[in-house]
């Protein structure tokens, strides 16, 4: 049987296992990923099966994790770095932005950087500060990095393998509050390409875009909207850099309305870039400006306030109403 029901977490675990079986050069590095199996258990059992040289519990130093990954990559390894939580990527930010991202260009292609940086991202788990951040725009803004965000077990299973096999550095964002969401995964299927967006629900009135944890929220909003006779078309962007907007443009030319949803603060978030591009490509079809729904321009709040901070079904529908009102 090639089909099994997996959570996103388990799908990632299985995908990592496959990647390690397929290529002996794949090395997992991170804090607590070995014996503990990671704080979210994404690497559970992998050190036991592949050994301490392939699944490395690192010292507590993120700059070290990414900096040594560069050297290992130069030796032909494929480091897969786990950052324990989104808010802890910043000690490694220097290595990612000034080194990992630029080495291919600087070496005129003589050095490849097949480094995967796995980051559980986003809020909604009731955590203390620095555990609920959405830092994707920092990375998408950095030339030389690719950024993807998975939303479901199927993409988690295939995506992590595709990212590891890919020759460029990839920031691989995992929707931590959805780690326990389940779906059927056919491990014998032919996967969709990594850098492609996907239409996940057809509709006529408004095109709604999301990635990572917000895909589920938007699909729920689409259900609710349908009950009120409003039809939303939903696209899971899947890839943040590069963006794959062709399907989006096709959709918006039909609906004339577009709403972008992410947890990250609205200002200069992915929504800003998408709004600009969609406006450029669809100017004559637009019935309303492209609207953005996101986090407020405040530090991520204490968890008692996160429900008010995070975009939810109501805020998506509110934006849909506003788009329809133009």
Partner 1 sequence: MSVSSATEVVDPVPGAGAPHLPRQPDLVQLLTPEGERVEHPQYSLDLDADELRDLYRDLALVRRWDVEATALQRQGELGIWASLLGQEAAQVGAGRALQPGDMAFPTYREHGVAWTRGVDPLHVISLFRGVDNGGWDPVATAFNLYTVVIGAQTLHATGYAMGLQRDGAEGAVLAFLGDGATSQGEVNEAMIWAASFSAPVVFFCQNNQYAISVPLERQSRVPLYQRAAGFGFPGVRVDGNDVLAVLAVTRAALAAAREGQGPTFVEAFTYRMGAHTTSDDPTRYRLASELEEWKLRDPIARVKAYLSRSGTADQDFFDAVEAEADELAARIRRGTTEMPDPPGTAMFDQVFAEQTPHLAAQQAAFEAYQATFEEASE
Ligand X SMILES: Cc1ncc(C[n+]2csc(CCOP(=O)(O)OP(=O)(O)O)c2C)c(N)n1
Contact pick of 17, 90, 196, 288 for partner 1 (by CB under 8 A): 90
Closest distance to ligand X from the beta carbon of 261 (Å): 29
Decide: 92 and 138 in contact? Cβ < 8 Å: no
Q: Which listed option, partner 1, ligand X, none, makes contact with residue 36 (CB within 5 to 8 Å by class)?
A: partner 1
Binding characters for ligand X, 47-66, by CB under 6 A (x = yes): -------------x-x----
- Residue 138 beta carbon to ligand X: minimum distance, rounded to whole angstroms: 16
Q: Is 262 an active-site residue?
A: no
Quick check: 93 binds ligand X (CB under 6 A)? no
Helix ranges (DSSP H) in the chain: 8-22, 46-50, 62-74, 93-94, 103-106, 136-140, 153-165, 214-227, 246-255, 270-282, 306-309, 313-325
The piece of 84-92, 184-192, 217-225, 265-273 that touches ligand X (CB under 6 A) is: 84-92
Residue from 244, 205, 237 nearest 222 by CA? 205
30 touches, from ligand X, partner 1, none (C-beta below 5 to 8 Å by class): none
The answer to the question of residue 297 lying near partner 1 (CB under 8 A) is yes
Q: Specify burial of residue 128 (Cβ count, 10 A radius: 0-12, 13-18, 19+).
A: exposed
User: Is it true that the peptide bond before 242 is cis, omega within 30 degrees of 0?
Assistant: yes
Between residues 36 and 111, which has the closer beta carbon with respect to ligand X? 36
* Residue 108 CB-half CA count within 13 A: 0
Q: Which of 13, 58, 84, 197 binds ligand X (CB under 6 A)?
A: 84
Q: Does 36 engage in binding with partner 1 (CB under 8 A)? A: yes
Of 15, 27, 30, 31, which one interacts with ligand X (CB under 6 A)?
31
Q: Considering the complex, what minimum distance in angstroms separates the CB of residue 269 from ligand X? A: 24
Cα 55 from Cα 175, distance rounded (Å): 22
Q: Which does 128 bind (CB under 5 to 8 A by kind): partner 1, ligand X, none?
A: partner 1
Q: What is the closest distance, in whole angstroms, from the C-beta atom of residue 308 to partner 1 in the complex?
A: 4
Question: What are residue 57's phi and psi, to 5 degrees?
Answer: -75, 115
- Backbone angle region of 242, left / alpha / beta, with phi > 0 → left and psi within -120 to 50 → alpha: beta
Which listed range, 74-82, 207-215, 251-259, 312-320, lies at the site for partner 1 (CB under 8 A)? Answer: 312-320
Decide: is 88 part of the binding site for ligand X (CB under 6 A). Answer: yes
| Residue linked to tokens 């030339």 | 143
CA distance linking residue 171 with residue 38, whole number of Å: 18
CA dihedral 66, 95, 240, 236 (to 10 degrees): 30
Residue found by looking up tokens 């040594």 in the block: 68
| 54-83 binders of partner 1 (CB under 8 A) | 57-61, 63-64
Q: Which residue is it, tokens 């503990």?
A: 36
Q: Given 104, 130, 131, 166, which residue is catalytic?
A: 131
d(C-alpha 3, C-alpha 188), whole Å: 8
Pick 42 or 218: Cβ nearer ligand X = 42
Is residue 199 near partner 1 by the rule CB under 8 A? Answer: no
Which of 4, 57, 63, 91 touches ligand X by CB under 6 A?
A: 91
What are the residues whose beta carbons fall under 8 Å from the beta carbon of 39, sequence distance 6 or more? 32, 84, 85
Binding region for partner 1 (CB under 8 A): 31-32, 34-37, 39, 57-61, 63-64, 87-88, 90-91, 126-131, 267, 296-299, 301-306, 308-309, 314-315, 318
Name the residues annotated as catalytic.
131
Binding region for ligand X (CB under 6 A): 31, 60, 62, 84, 88, 91
């Amino acid at each position: 049987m090639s089909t099994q029901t997996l959570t996103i977490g388990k799908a990632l675990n299985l995908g990592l296992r496959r990647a390690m079986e397929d290529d002996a050069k794949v090395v997992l590095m991170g804090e607590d990923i070995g014996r503990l199996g990671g704080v979210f258990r994404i690497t559970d059992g992998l050190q036991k099966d592949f050994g301490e040289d392939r699944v490395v519990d690192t010292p507590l130093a993120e700059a070290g994790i990414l900096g040594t990954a560069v050297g290992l990559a130069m030796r032909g390894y494929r480091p897969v770095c786990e950052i324990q939580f989104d808010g802890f990527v910043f000690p490694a930010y220097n290595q990612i932005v000034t080194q990992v991202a630029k080495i291919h260009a600087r070496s005129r292609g003589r050095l490849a950087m097949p480094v995967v940086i796995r980051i559980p991202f986003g809020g909604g788990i009731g955590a203390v500060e620095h555990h609920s951040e959405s830092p994707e725009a920092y990375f998408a803004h950095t030339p030389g990095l690719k950024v993807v965000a998975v939303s479901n077990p199927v993409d988690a299973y295939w995506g992590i393998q595709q990212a590891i096999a890919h020759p460029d550095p990839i920031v691989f964002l995992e929707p931590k509050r959805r780690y326990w969401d389940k779906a059927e995964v056919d491990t014998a299927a032919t996967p969709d390409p990594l850098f492609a967006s996907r239409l996940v629900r057809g509709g006529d009135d408004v095109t709604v875009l999301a990635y990572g944890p917000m895909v589920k929220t938007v699909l729920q909003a689409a259900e609710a909207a349908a009950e009120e006779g409003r039809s939303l078309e939903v696209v899971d962007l899947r890839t943040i850099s590069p963006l794959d907007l062709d399907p989006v443009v096709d959709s918006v030319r039909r609906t004339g309305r577009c709403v972008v949803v992410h947890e990250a603060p609205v200002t200069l978030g992915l929504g800003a870039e998408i709004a600009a591009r969609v406006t450029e490509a669809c100017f004559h079809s637009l019935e309303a400006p492209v609207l953005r729904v996101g986090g407020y321009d405040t530090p991520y709040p204490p968890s008692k306030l996160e429900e008010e901070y995070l975009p939810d079904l109501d805020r998506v529908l509110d934006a849909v109403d506003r788009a329809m009102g133009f």
